[in-house]
Amino acid sequence: MTKAAGKGGRSGARSAGAKTARGKAKPPARKPWGGRFDGATDPAVERFSASIHFDKALARHDLRGSRAQARMLGEVGLIPAKDARALLRGLDQVEAEIERGEFPFDPALEDIHMNIETRLRVLAGPDAAGKLHTGRSRNDQVATDLALFLRDAGLATEHGIHQLRGVLLERAREHVDTLLPGYTHLQRAQPVRLAHQWLAHVEALGRDAGRFADARARIARCPLGAGALAGSTLPLGREQTARELGFEGPTRNSMDTVAARDGALEYLAAAAIAMVHLSRLAEELVLWSTAEFGFVELADAYSTGSSLMPQKKNPDVPELVRGKSGRAIGNLVTLLTVMKGLPLTYNRDMQEDKEPLFDSVTTLRDSLEVMAGALATLEVRRDRMAEAASDPMLLATDLAELLVRKGIPFREAHEVVGKIVGHCTRNRLDLRALTRADLQGFHAAFDAPATELLDLERSVESRSLAGGTARVRVLEALAEAEADVARALARLAPEQRP
């Protein structure tokens, strides 16, 4: 052994508290949990692997799971009843400290599970606290926490979506008779009712809510008791803990239990789709609030000014929602990428599930809230919408369909009307100014002047098929959607947690 090595100076790993290359003393390193290890974890590894700064969001869910665990251990006789009672009292104290903001979160303790267990050693005594983890691994513990979190997050998200749908329905009912152009390719296409357009977003959001409800149906079984991957030799009461935590029963395969992150992936996928739907709605608000459209004006509370140009009123809220959709999409891709190459069962890579999940939950929650506020308070410029809807070219399809009703093949009718539109465009003519003779110059089947054939209100009302923009259909759709939202909010209300 060299002199330097004999002093423990330069060979092998640095000791705890050794100086770094920059001469600054490292903080004392912590020995890894369990008796397997003799050496301390490098502080850089502790920083790199710590998750307490984000997984403390699971504290309430971890406490619920630990209460169920403590009660079960006591009832099946794996721990004395007095220890079970001490654990339950201690867990209540931990929850109270967290709620008061007094809990001593310690990054050196790595995650929320070890923070709570370490605090229990003080509150319930080291002997009782050391028994809480009987028959439990952090693998099934975190899977349980995540399942509980996803159930609550899914409920809250579904509730927020239906609230936004409710706002859209309120505004739609105000604007059943407000007409504007519908667009394809951002070009004016055909006239529609504003209520009909907002009902389109209500439909899309309804499917989003359904995706979150469907995802919750697959979080029906309790992971607790699956252990690290193979279950336990101890007589754990899995049915009991599942029942207490509100699950249908225990999971059926211990390996799948700790290896799966389907629930998180489903939430992220549903959130990404919902954010895309919100982004499209936000884009309409951005466009419609421009001077070029002038269809709406956002309330001051949902707009910002320019740091340089005094006249500006910027639609920052919908722009931010539009931008944040990229985060939701990225969060889904992140977790899919983490999971795609992992063998069964648990791998530490899976710690990377929580930050993207928590971020998407918060991003979607906030986006739903601000979009509801922006829509509830914006001013609709009916005059500008009516002016745009009066564009006679929006009724060109009506002319073609008029010929179809006279027995003309649609392709022929389409070509005829296309020639009429081209003629009016080249000569800067109003389509409605064409006489009967003018129209018959393109096809003999026309039997009246354009002023008689083309009428905006009649055009909208004639689209009375199911799902159309005729007034009667819009009113039917409104009533149906309002009833759907009312049923959904009534169903979700008892399940909402404070």
Q: Report the distance separating Cα 204 and Cα 427, nearest Å.
A: 42
Catalytic residue check, 325: no
What angle (nearest 5°) sits at the alpha carbon of residue 357, between those of residues 91 and 318? 125
**Residue 37: what pLDDT?**
64
Catalytic residue, chosen from 306, 367, 414, 464, is 306
Q: Which secondary structure element, helix H or strand E, spans residue 153, and what is its range?
A: helix 138-174
CA 91 to chain centre: 31
pLDDT in tens, 262-301: 999 999 999 999 999 999 999 999 999 999 999 999 999 9
Instruction: Give the pLDDT band of residue 306 (cuts 50, 70, 90).
Output: confident
Residue 31 confidence class, pLDDT cut points 50, 70, 90:
low
Q: How do the residues of the chain divide into helix, strand and coil, expressed in percent and rounded to 5?
A: 65, 5, 30
- Structure tokens belonging to residue 159: 């509730």
Cα–Cα–Cα angle for 450, 422, 389, rounded to 5 degrees? 55
pLDDT band at 30 (very low <50, low <70, confident <90, very high): low
**Residue 296, phi then psi, degrees to nearest 5:** -140, 160
Question: For position 48, what pLDDT does the model report?
Answer: 76
Tokens matching residue 51: 């998750």
Three-state SS for 338-380 is HHCCCCCCCCHHHHHHHHHHHHHHHHHHHHHHHHHHHHHHCEE
User: Is residue 415 scored above 80 in pLDDT?
Assistant: yes
pLDDT band at residue 50 under the 50/70/90 scheme: confident
The whole-angstrom separation of Cα 146 and Cα 144 is 5
Q: Where are the alpha helices (DSSP H) in 33-137?
A: 43-49, 52-55, 59-75, 81-100, 112-123, 126-129
The whole-angstrom separation of Cα 417 and Cα 408 is: 12
Of 275, 235, 310, 314, the closest CA to residue 72 belongs to 235
Q: How high does pLDDT run on average in the chain?
A: 92
Give the amino acid at 404.
V
Omega cis (within 30) before 345: yes
Quick one: pLDDT at residue 43?
A: 74
- On whether the CB atoms of residues 337 and 329 are closer than 8 A, the answer is no
Q: pTM (2 decimals)?
A: 0.89
User: Partners of 190 in the beta sheet?
Assistant: 182
Question: Is 367 tagged catalytic?
Answer: no
pLDDT class for 498, splitting at 50, 70, 90?
A: very low
Q: Which pLDDT belongs to residue 336?
A: 98
Burial of 428: CB neighbours in 10 Å, binned 0-12, 13-18, 19+: exposed
Cα distance between residue 308 and residue 241, in whole Å: 61
Cα–Cα distance measured from residue 240 to residue 69, given in angstroms and rounded to the nearest whole number: 9
151 confidence band (pLDDT: 50, 70, 90): very high
pLDDT of 400 strictly over 80:
yes
H or E stretch including 450? helix 450-453
* Confidence band, pLDDT 50/70/90 cuts, at residue 53: confident
Q: Which tokens is 291 given?
A: 């001077």
Q: What proportion of the chain, given as a percentage, has pLDDT over 70?
A: 91
CB atoms within 10 A of CB 319: 16
Give me the domains of the chain, ranges plus CATH numbers.
Answer: 53-129 (1.10.275.10), 138-388 (1.20.200.10), 391-461 (1.10.40.30)
311 pLDDT more than 70: yes
**Cα torsion 280, 281, 286, 290: sign:** positive
Confidence of residue 362 (pLDDT cuts 50, 70, 90): very high
Exposed e or buried b per residue across 409-426, where buried means at least 16 C-beta atoms within 10 angstroms of its C-beta: eeeebbebbeebeeebee
Residue 229 · residue 345 · CB < 8 Å = yes
The average pLDDT across 41-68 equals 86
Q: Is the pLDDT of residue 3 over 70?
A: no
Look at residue 28 and tell me whether its pLDDT is greater than 70. Answer: no
Q: How many residues does the chain have?
A: 498
Closest CA to 461 of 223, 192, 58: 192
Helix (H, G, I), strand (E, B) or coil at 106: coil
What does residue 85 show for φ and ψ, rounded to 5 degrees?
-65, -40
DSSP letters, 262-326, are: HHHHHHHHHHHHHHHHHHHHHHHHHHHTSTTT--EE--GGG-B--SS-TT--B-HHHHHHHHHHH
| Contact status, residue 232 vs residue 185, Cβ threshold 8 Å | no
pLDDT at 442 over 60: yes
Q: Which of 185, 196, 367, 464 is catalytic?
A: 185
Question: Residue 245, SS3?
Answer: coil
How many whole angstroms separate alpha carbon 176 and alpha carbon 37? 71
In order of 130, 157, 327, 346, 376, the CA distances from 208 in angstroms are 44, 10, 17, 30, 20
Contacts 24+ apart (CB under 8 A), 344-347: 344/229, 344/255, 344/256, 344/259, 345/139, 345/228, 345/229, 345/255, 345/258, 345/259, 346/139, 346/228, 346/229, 346/258, 346/259
Position with higher pLDDT, 16 vs 320 = 320
Which pLDDT value is given to residue 4? 40
Which H helix or E strand runs over 148? Answer: helix 138-174
Percent of the chain's residues with pLDDT above 90: 85
Residues 384-404 have a mean pLDDT of: 95
Q: Name, in order, each residue with C-beta under 8 angstroms of 303's C-beta and a sequence gap of 6 or more.
A: 313, 314, 315, 316, 317
